């Protein structure tokens, strides 16, 4: 009798624990989506392999660390600053450097963006030091509360709310606004879009800056969860690329589901089978890419 009650309690505990892991996984996945959304559009729109996307996320993270820890700006107010800083950095780099590389081969793009990653890693190391840094999150956002027995971290809830709102806003912008329809046209076939008088270059510059800003915001939000040190762009490059290649570049929904899958899979994998580490994620990625090279959610008739 006592044993049965105990086991029932244990299974209930396991159930809520599973829900907690699911919750953490969703928060992680949504964070990954905001971090990688800009890359999805860049790849889909200009067929440009930007391995340096993580550098913008790192820039956002460090801007938050500086403004919150040194200048004493409230954490929530520092998020828009991180977004703007990364967006401006993205815009300037796009106009000065990236614009020369669009027409080049994928090999050139890879070399160029790896070069940028190395430079940003070493530069941040030089300015900020190589040790990991932490953002001082206000006390009201720390800790957990119980909801029907599920442990919910306040900070992760904030991430889900912000990233969820951003996702809805992104999807609405893409689906219902004039800019969104132009962007979709440019992604589908940029030559025809140009022929119709759409200024694809300007759309791209704006989207690049906005995507960099989103990455910066993701970096600022994620500094607490993912950890922030100069090697950030290299460590998470593979995650961003997984989101984009597995999700496909033809819509924003594909990367979104891919991020959720990756986030939940990574958190659950590290919890239940810690001995395997990231092995599972990489293997699944290879299998999916063999099975569907254009991504899980891509339309079959891709360019």
Partner 1 sequence: MIARSTIVAATERLAARARWHPLEFAFWISAFSAIYLMPSQHLILTEIAWLGLFALSLDLILGYAGIVSLGHAAFFGFGAYAAALLAKYEIINEPVLAMLAAGAGALMLGFVTSFLVLRGSDLARLMVTLGVALVLRELANRYGWLTGGADGLQGVTIRPLLGTFRFDMFGHTGYAYCLIVLFVLFLIARRLVNSPFGLSLLSVKGNPLRASAIGISVDARLVAIYTVAAGYAGIAGALLAQTTAFASLEVFSFDRSADLLLVLIIGGAGYLYGGLIGAIIFKFMQDYLSALTPQYWPFWIGLVLVTIVLVGRDRISSWTAPVRSLSVLMDWRTLRSSQVTRPPERTFQ
Binding-site size for partner 1 (CB under 8 A) equals 46
Question: Does residue 102 belong to the site contacting partner 1 (CB under 8 A)?
Answer: no
Range in contact with partner 1 (rule: CB under 8 A) among 6-14, 145-153, 252-260, 280-288: 280-288
Indicate whether 301 belongs to the interface with partner 1 (CB under 8 A): no
What is the per-residue burial (b if ≥16 Cβ within 10 Å, else e) of 66-100? bbbeeeeeebeebbebbbbbbbebbbebbeeebee
Cite the DSSP H helix spans in the chain.
2-46, 53-65, 75-96, 106-128, 154-176, 178-188, 190-195, 200-226, 232-247, 253-272, 279-291
Indicate the SS3 state at residue 189: coil
DSSP letter assigned to residue 303? -
Could you tell me the smallest distance in angstroms from the CB atom of residue 261 to partner 1?
A: 16
Pick the binder of partner 1 from 125, 150, 201, 253 (CB under 8 A): 125
Containing 150, the helix (H) or strand (E) segment is strand 150-153
Per CB under 8 A, the list member of 118, 206, 257, 271 interacting with partner 1 is: 118
122 binds partner 1 (CB under 8 A): yes
Is the CB of 43 or the CB of 223 nearer to partner 1? 43
Can you tell me which of 22, 111, 141, 185 binds partner 1, judged by CB under 8 A? 111
CA dist 189 to 57, 185, 186, 247, 303, Å? 29, 6, 5, 19, 8
Q: Please, which residues bridge with residue 153 across strands?
A: 144
| Site residues (CB under 8 A) for partner 1, limited to 184-243 | 234, 237-238, 241-242
User: Of the candidates 8, 92, 123, 165, which one interacts with partner 1 according to CB under 8 A?
Assistant: 123
Cβ of residue 301: shortest distance to partner 1, in angstroms? Answer: 12
In our burial notation (b when 16+ CB lie closer than 10 A, e otherwise), range 7-35 reads: eeeeeeeeebeebbbebbbbbbbbbbbbb
Closer of 10 and 110 to partner 1 (Cβ):
110
Residue from the set 7, 172, 293, 299 that interacts with partner 1 by CB under 8 A: 293
> Closer CB to partner 1, residue 87 or residue 116?
116
The three-class DSSP label of residue 138 is: coil
- Closest CB to partner 1 among residues 75, 208: 208
**Residue 74 or 115 with smaller CB distance to partner 1:** 115
Using DSSP's 3-state secondary structure scheme, residue 146 falls into: strand
Name the token pair of 280.
């599972």
Residues 35-94 touching partner 1, rule: CB under 8 A, are 43, 49
Strands 144-147 and 150-153: antiparallel
Tell me: does residue 132 bind partner 1 (CB under 8 A): no
Residues found near partner 1 in the complex (CB under 8 A): 43, 49, 97, 100-101, 104-108, 110-112, 114-123, 125-126, 130, 234, 237-238, 241-242, 245, 275-279, 282-283, 285-286, 289-290, 293-294, 303
């Amino acid at each position: 009798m006592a044993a049965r009650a105990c086991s029932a309690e244990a299974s209930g505990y396991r159930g809520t624990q599973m829900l907690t892991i699911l919750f953490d996984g969703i928060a992680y996945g949504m964070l990954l989506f905001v971090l990688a959304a800009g890359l999805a559009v860049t790849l889909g729109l200009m067929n440009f392999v930007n391995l340096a996307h993580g550098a913008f996320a790192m820039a956002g993270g460090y801007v938050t660390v500086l403004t919150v820890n040194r200048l004493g700006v409230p954490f929530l107010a520092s998020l828009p600053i991180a977004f703007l800083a990364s967006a401006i950095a993205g815009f300037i780099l796009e106009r000065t450097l990236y614009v020369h590389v669009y027409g080049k081969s994928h090999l050139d793009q890879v070399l160029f963006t790896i070069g940028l990653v190395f430079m940003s890693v070493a530069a941040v190391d030089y300015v900020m030091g190589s040790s990991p840094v932490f953002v001082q999150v206000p006390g009201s956002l720390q800790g957990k509360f119980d909801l029907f027995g599920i442990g919910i971290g306040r900070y992760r809830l904030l991430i889900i709310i912000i990233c969820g709102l951003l996702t809805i806003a992104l999807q609405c912008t893409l689906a219902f606004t004039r800019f969104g329809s132009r962007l979709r046209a440019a992604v589908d076939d940029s030559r025809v879009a140009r022929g119709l008088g759409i200024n694809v270059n300007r759309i791209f510059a704006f989207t690049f800056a906005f995507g960099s800003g989103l990455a910066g915001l993701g970096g600022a939000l994620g500094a607490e969860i993912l950890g922030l040190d100069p090697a950030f762009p290299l460590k998470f490059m593979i995650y961003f690329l997984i989101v984009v290649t597995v999700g496909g570049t033809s819509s924003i929904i594909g990367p979104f589901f891919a991020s959720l899958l990756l986030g939940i899979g990574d958190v659950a994998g590290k919890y239940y089978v810690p001995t395997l580490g990231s092995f599972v994620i990489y293997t699944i990625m290879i299998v999916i890419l063999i099975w569907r090279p254009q991504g899980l959610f891509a339309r079959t008739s891709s360019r």
